[in-house]
Structure 1
Amino acid sequence: MNETSQTTLDLILEAAAKEFLAKGFQSASLRNIVKTVGMTTGAFYGYFKSKEELFEALVGEHYDFMLNCFQKAQTEFAQLPVQQQPENLSNISGLCMFDMLHYAYEHLDVFKLILCGAEGTRFSGLIDEMVEIETTATHNYMNVLKSLGRPAPFIDQRLEHILITGMFNAFFELVIHEMPLDQAEIYLQELRTFYTAGWMKIMGQ
């Protein structure tokens, strides 16, 4: 792609980000984006096939990074010897949550798009996907506790879903409200302390 095309692409992405942030994906106008850039709709389709593809170009890489980061932390924990898992329960996931927080703050507008403006796209399900990963990891850990002969009481699936969803909603509230990073780090630590204590109590640990 030549320099002129790259510049035009940058202008399209910049105009699209502003439009999507202001109105959300569903209400955003492709016509407004094209008008802002000063190009024809036909010329736009030389870069992107649809509004969906344009939105994907803005957020797709970052969405995948966030999910992969979280999944990697769960996989690393599950690969620990079972005897070591209880004592490392909060270490790996804790580091991951701070990594995710810092990444989200480095790409704040992108994650505000994902969290607040992605309705109508596959990206609106970020929290749901993370809840699914965490739920699977929780079930696996309960099986580890059983194998170690430690208490592993039954947890109602509806309650489990509510608690895990609440945890991620609380986490992403820090991003949505653009809390200063130093304060967000403190609040994240306090949220982790709160949820860890609650889960340990429910799990009988």
Structure 2
Amino acid sequence: MGEGEQNTLERIHCAAMAEFLEKGFRDASLRQIVKNAGVTTGAFYGYFSSKEALFTSIVEPHAAAVMGRFMIAQTEFAELPREQQPAHMGKESGECVEWMIDYVYDHYRPFKLLICCSDGTPYENFVHNMVEIEVEYTFRYIEVLKSLGHQVPELDKELCHMIASGMFEGMFEIVRHDMPKARAKRFIDQLREFSTAGWMKIMGQ
């Protein structure tokens, strides 16, 4: 891609970011994005096939990075020897959350699009998908505890979904409220402590 094309693409992305952040994906105007970018509609379609494709080009690298890191944390914990897992509860996830907070603040505006402005796109269920994965791996861990002889009360999947949803939705409130990073990290640490203690309590640990 030549320098001129790169500049055009950057102008489109800049205009799109502002429009999506102000209005959300559904109400954002492609016509206004094109106008603010200073390009013709024909030029726009030389880069993107649709408004959704434009949104995806901004959001996808960051959604993939965060979800990828989240999955690494889940699988690394699940692949530990069974006997080691109880002692590691919260360790891998804590390191992952710390990484995620740094990543969010290093890429704040596109991540805010992902969390706050993605209704009407395939990304609108991003947090919900994380919750579903968390619940799946929670039940895997419960089976490990049972295999080690721990007396774990029977837990309803819907209850576990509610608890995990509270954690993840709460975590991303830092973005919805534009919280300063230092304050966000402090609150997230406290939220994690609360969540971990709660899980241990209901699991009989």
TM-score tier, shorter chain, comes to over 0.9
| Residue in structure 2 matched with residue 186 of structure 1 by the alignment | 186
CA distance in 1, matches of 2:59, 2:112: 10
Q: Which amino acid aligns with 2:183?
A: Q
TM-score where L is the length of structure 2 = 0.98
Aligned-pair distance for 1:127?
0.8
CA distance in 2, matches of 1:96, 1:139: 19
Question: Any residues of structure 2 matched to 1:70-85 within 5 Å, and which?
Answer: 70-85=70-85
* Residue identity (%): 50
Question: What CA deviation, in whole Å up to 9, does each residue of 1:131-187 have, x standing for no partner?
Answer: 111011101000000110012211112211111111101100012212111111111
Moved more, 150-159 or 63-72: 150-159
Deviation >2 Å, runs of 4+: none
Aligned-pair distance for 1:12?
0.3
Structure 1 alignment gaps of length 5 or more: none
| Residue in structure 2 matched with residue 39 of structure 1 by the alignment | 39
CA distance in 1, matches of 2:29, 2:16: 9
CA distance in 1, matches of 2:114, 2:29: 17
Aligned-pair distance for 1:194?
0.3
Moved more, 89-98 or 153-162: 153-162
CA distance in 2, matches of 1:50, 1:28: 12
Q: How many residue pairs are counted as aligned between the two chains?
A: 205
| Residue in structure 2 matched with residue 109 of structure 1 by the alignment | 109
Q: Which amino acid aligns with 2:189?
A: Q
Q: Which amino acid aligns with 1:153?
A: P
Question: What CA deviation, in whole Å up to 9, does each residue of 1:11-31 have, x standing for no partner?
Answer: 000000000000000100000
CA distance in 2, matches of 1:124, 1:110: 14
| Residue in structure 2 matched with residue 96 of structure 1 by the alignment | 96
CA distance in 1, matches of 2:119, 2:59: 13
CA distance in 2, matches of 1:182, 1:117: 24
Question: Any residues of structure 2 matched to 1:62-77 within 5 Å, and which?
Answer: 62-77=62-77
| Residue in structure 2 matched with residue 166 of structure 1 by the alignment | 166
Secondary structure of 1:85's aligned partner:
helix
TM-score where L is the length of structure 1 = 0.98
Does structure 1 retain, via aligned residues, the 8 Å contact 2:167–2:195? yes
Q: Which amino acid aligns with 2:148?
A: L
Q: Find out whether 1:25 has 2:17 as its counterpart.
A: no
| Residue in structure 2 matched with residue 148 of structure 1 by the alignment | 148
Secondary structure of 1:6's aligned partner:
helix
Question: Any residues of structure 2 matched to 1:129-144 within 5 Å, and which?
Answer: 129-144=129-144
CA distance in 2, matches of 1:13, 1:151: 54
Q: Which amino acid aligns with 2:44?
A: F
Does structure 1 retain, via aligned residues, the 8 Å contact 2:135–2:157? no
CA distance in 2, matches of 1:174, 1:193: 17
